[in-house]
Amino acid sequence: MTGEKNSVGPYRNGFVLLIGAVFVFRMWFSTTLPLSGDEAYHWEWSRHPAFGYYDHPGLTAYLILLFTRLLGRSTELTVRLPALVMLTGSAVAAFLLARRIAAQKVGAAAGDKAGFLAGLLVSTVPLFAVFSLYISTDPPAIFFNLLSVYLFHRAFSEGRWADWIAAGVVLGLALMSKFLSFLIVPALGAFALASPADRKWLVRPQAYVAGLCALLVFSPFLWWNATHDWATFKFNFVYRQADRSFAPGFALEFLGGQALALSPVVCLCALGCLWKAFRRWRQERDRDALYLGLCSAVPLAYFLYVSLQRRVGAHWPASGWLALLVCLGIEWARLEPGERDRAARRWMTAALSVAVLMTAVLHGVIHIPPGWVQTNWRYAASPNRISASKQAERFGWRELGQEVERRRDEMASARVARGLPPDEPPGKGVFVICGEYGLAAATAFYTPSQMSTHLWAARRTHGENYRFWDDFATLKGQDGLYVSKREDGALAAKATLGKRFREVGDVERLPVKVKGQEVRSFFFIRCLGFDGRTPDFRAPAS
């Protein structure tokens, strides 16, 4: 017993050192990159706190609001800190779940080793490394999904009311993070049906009280939707489901994307672990293996099915891999130093090494100087989102923000010179409009005063919450400054601007230079005399 007790400490201490070092490094790294358009859009959510939004439930907005208020200002670090905290919490939850299961089967030493390996996987695979630095609805969904898997495992195993209630509350928080969290529910139901020892919970009140707790936590979002024409439900279950047909090429893209997201060797090992988990259930009636297997198999199978009809984002199934990474940590902790497990240990070493290498390369690639990328490479299936030119888009945001505020104040002063009412407070009488939701949000974030901006664009898939925020009637009589990332976009916008403003100026260009080299440009149009009517984006009559 003494040897086992002495062997427990190193893995726990190693895990604490691991997540502490990773946390500090990622805090620093998050300050070296500007917010993406989507991140800035989620920050805009926090400036309009609500229980729901057009795209998703609203928990992410409140997390951003909490951290920016606690730390006193909105910066890249404070906006992204919730993501880092959520992914660090996910590594801790993976540690606890793997340790709990392995310790019951093999002993405390194996439990801590399994927890360390599971936490290491969650901390280092590319998919979860990215989400520790990228604020969206995914980081809280990942954390609360895995925490609910841990708490439901305790509830099924020990049956305490406190565990069932806590699990239900955490499930509700997962649903308040992202719609796709509902996939844990059929996984839990399938487990209760398949495991004879756990079918008793189907006729006992605890599971239903847990479901009621989840519904209560989720109910503010339902109320918001009921008062906003069920906008989020229509977006997710109507608009996004249009034009679906059998397209197996998307499935191949999905599988390749998942291999890259997890790193190829980890992905292979995880899928092998899934097969082994169901084999353990068949041969040994290992209910823990069944539980972890179903918690991953159900969401992954769902997204594989969806990928036969449409493109699936590489990050959509993120929560589905968590239980498999825990399962993989447990399997690796079982390995013995002898000849029998030599091949498995090599796979483990290769998996961890490749994952760490890919994550390290990913951190480096993000900071490649744009002048080094001498290629026009674009991913043919999604050229506007995945291309070498995207490297340059990390530059120029502060310059843009300063220029927007300078031009707005200049236009406000010109209004006074024309005899219009005094400019009180500064900038009154001039509003900023953008043709993309991400640009509108990022422009607002990077202006020195973090002013409000407005969306001037036809309906698209995302970013539609600006329709709830923008009240163009209140802007009647004001002047507008239109901002675009592309010259062709600015030129195309002149038609719609001309229908709502008395006078529309020429396109003005702001070049962005890095070390004397021009890397990108922004474009502006000054518009005078807004008529107060909502923009009309139908093509003008010829």
DSSP 190-231: HHHHH-GGGGGGGSSHHHHHHHHHHHHHHHHHHHHHHTTTTH
> Which is it for the CA torsion 296, 58, 311, 264, positive or negative?
negative
Question: How far is Cα 218 from Cα 250, in angstroms, rounded to an integer?
Answer: 32
Question: Which parts of 39-180 are beta strand (E)?
Answer: none
What's the CA dihedral at 219, 191, 90, 330 to 10 degrees? 170
Q: How far is residue 122 from each of residues 22, 109, 356, 475, 534, measured CA to CA in Å?
A: 11, 20, 11, 48, 47
Determine the angle formed by the axes of helices 397-417 and 437-446, rounding to 10 degrees: 80
For residue 388, what is the DSSP state? Answer: G
CA 225 – CA 282 distance, rounded (Å): 44
Per-residue tens of pLDDT for the chain, all 542 residues = 334 444 458 999 999 999 999 999 999 999 999 999 999 999 999 999 999 999 999 999 999 999 999 999 999 999 999 999 999 999 999 999 999 999 988 878 889 999 999 999 999 999 999 999 999 999 999 999 999 999 999 999 999 999 999 999 999 999 999 988 999 999 999 999 999 999 999 999 999 999 999 999 999 999 999 999 999 998 888 777 666 677 888 999 999 999 999 999 999 999 999 999 999 999 999 999 999 999 999 999 999 999 998 889 899 999 999 999 999 999 999 998 877 889 999 999 999 999 999 999 999 988 887 766 655 666 655 556 666 667 778 889 999 999 999 999 999 988 888 877 655 555 578 999 999 999 999 999 999 999 999 999 988 778 889 999 999 999 999 999 999 999 999 999 999 999 999 999 999 999 998 888 888 899 999 999 999 999 877 644 33
Query: Structure tokens of 362?
Result: 């990913």
480, 433 contact by CB (below 8 A) = yes
**Exposure on the CB side of residue 118, measured as CA atoms within 13 A:** 37
Q: Residue 351 and residue 347: Cα distance in Å, rounded?
A: 6
Question: 421 is written with which tokens?
Answer: 């009412």
Quote the CA–CA distance of 46 and 70 in Å, as a whole number.
Answer: 13
Residue whose pair of structure tokens reads 């447990």 in the numeric block: 330
